[in-house]
Chain A
Amino acid sequence: MTTLDVQGGRLSPGAIIEARDVYRSFGQTQALAGASLAVQRGEILAVMGPSGSGKSTLLHCLAGIFPPDKGEIWFDGQRLDKLSDTRRTELRRTAFGFVFQFGQLVPELTVADNIALPLLLNRVHRKAAYAKADAWLPRLGLDGLGGRRTGELSGGQAQRVALARAVVAQPKLLFADEPTGSLDTLTGEMVMELLVGVAREEGTTVVLVTHDARVAAYADREVQVRDGKVINRADAEVEVSR
């Protein structure tokens, strides 16, 4: 599939995913009101904004979890919002990874089971899936924890398992929604170090929703969402007066 410029009706140059004039409401609440955003391939982008500004809804629309009421979502040359539910689900399983505030691991399963899960869902052979899952344990400081049930882990360990599960299938895009929101400062920093390190090594594009400026400072760029719109002023080059 070709990637044309925005004037041609497709992705902006260099972008891997793009929201164009997206609207989304929940009942009477207008969560997005004409949000537009292009994320460059390999970029780590922080999406910031006050509570209720629409930043998480924007992430969910970009990830194909919520279809927009109006507007377009483009991913890698195709209209994500026009795909069938089945195809969007498949894309989320194969091309996207997710890390949320609370790891959302399966507590009854072991660390290795949780990490291998996306591969097993993608019909990767069991032995290969577990070999890949095991390979992630030392990279994320989880040596020796493969057989432990995730319900027994600390918050920081659980988020590292969530990160491994998100990247084990080598997604093109990693969506992280307040990934350090439930962690203390130092544990949060460790998770961000690992997340950014893994993204750089794997060339994964990251869309990181956060209200925390210290977390956003790990990103290459940040945008602000306010009243359901992306504020472009944050993209402006800043000349600092001395």
Chain B
Amino acid sequence: MLALMTVVPLTLLGLLERQPSHGYDLKRDYDAFFGRGKPLPFGQVYSTLGRLARDGKVTGGDAEPGAGPDRKRYAITEAGAREFDAWLTEPIEPEPHLQTVLFSKVVLALMLGRPAEAYLDTQRTAHIQRMRELTEIKRSGSLMDTLLADHGLFHLEADLRWIDVTSARLDALAEMVRNS
């Protein structure tokens, strides 16, 4: 849940990096690519955009005439683009259940023509580094340490399998994202 709360503003920034958009369009695209049966409430879209505008990461522009709750066209600022780029390019701290964030990064990277495979490779390296640390704990620790490290290792291994399979399917995913 924490990962989802963090990833929504960054995902909206990524969608805005593609092109300036209205809140409605952002919600539609978010739901289509990342919603997975859990649409983003309009209220959360606008409150997130409001916070991003307050922090200087997007600009709201003037309201345009038309139906709907908010006809402002939002655009990403340089500060917003920097934050998004930093998030996209850096691996996440390896821990179990990262698929939501990794999936968002991969889709956004493909959408923006960024090197998704390189991001997956970097994340793979970060995961194996963490597995190396846990393996060292196993080699030098007690049985309790070993069992706890094993739990982490098996979950990280599952993430790595997902990274490998996604890496193998990037071409198909890129085509799907381009054609959506």
Which residues of A192-242 are within 8 A (CB) of B? Answer: 193, 213-214, 216-219, 222, 224, 231, 233-234, 236, 238-242
Measured CA separation A238–B90 after assembly (Å)? 8
A213 touches B125 (CB 8 A): no
Q: Does A50 contact B (CB under 8 A)?
A: yes
Q: Does B75 contact A (CB under 8 A)?
A: no
A217 touches B153 (CB 8 A): yes
A213 touches B122 (CB 8 A): no
A241 touches B124 (CB 8 A): no
Q: Is the interface of B mostly helix, strand, loop or mixed?
A: helix
Taken residue by residue from 2 to 37, chain B's Cβ proximity to chain A (1 for < 8 Å, 0 otherwise) reads as 000000000000000000000000000000000000
Q: How extensive is the interface on chain A, given as a class?
A: 10 to 19
Measured CA separation A122–B4 after assembly (Å)? 63
A residues near B139, Cβ cutoff 8 Å: 193
List the B residue with the shortest CB-CB distance to A223: B125
CB of B154, distance to nearest CB on chain A (Å): 8
Which residues of B92-133 are within 8 A (CB) of A? Answer: 92-94, 118, 121-122, 124-129, 131-132
A residues near B118, Cβ cutoff 8 Å: 233
Q: How extensive is the interface on chain B, given as a class?
A: 20 to 34
Measured CA separation A123–B73 after assembly (Å)? 82
The number of A-B residue pairs with CB atoms under 8 Å apart is 58
- Given known A224-B124, A238-B122, contact A213–B131 (CB-CB < 8 A): yes
- Given known A50-B168, A213-B160, A240-B93, contact A224–B153 (CB-CB < 8 A): no
Measured CA separation A222–B129 after assembly (Å)? 9
CB of A224, distance to nearest CB on chain B (Å): 7
CB of B92, distance to nearest CB on chain A (Å): 6
Q: Does B87 contact A (CB under 8 A)?
A: yes
A240 touches B126 (CB 8 A): yes
- Given known A213-B156, A213-B157, A218-B135, contact A240–B128 (CB-CB < 8 A): no
CB of B98, distance to nearest CB on chain A (Å): 12
B92 touches A216 (CB 8 A): no
Measured CA separation A240–B130 after assembly (Å)? 11
CB of B143, distance to nearest CB on chain A (Å): 13
- Given known A213-B156, A213-B160, A233-B118, contact A238–B131 (CB-CB < 8 A): no
Measured CA separation A218–B134 after assembly (Å)? 10
Measured CA separation A234–B91 after assembly (Å)? 12
Q: Which of B93, B122, B153, B157 contacts A236 (CB 8 A)?
A: B122
Q: Which residues of B contact A (CB under 8 A)?
A: 86-87, 90-94, 118, 121-122, 124-129, 131-132, 134-135, 139, 153, 156-157, 160, 164, 168
Sample of 16 more A-B contacts, CB < 8 Å, known A213-B131, A233-B118, A240-B92: A50-B164, A213-B127, A213-B128, A214-B153, A216-B128, A216-B131, A217-B132, A219-B132, A222-B128, A224-B121, A236-B122, A238-B122, A238-B126, A239-B91, A240-B91, A241-B93
Chosen A-B contacts, 19 in total, with CB atoms closer than 8 Å, are: A193-B139, A213-B128, A213-B156, A214-B131, A217-B128, A217-B132, A217-B135, A218-B132, A224-B124, A233-B122, A236-B122, A238-B91, A238-B122, A238-B125, A238-B126, A240-B92, A240-B94, A240-B126, A241-B92
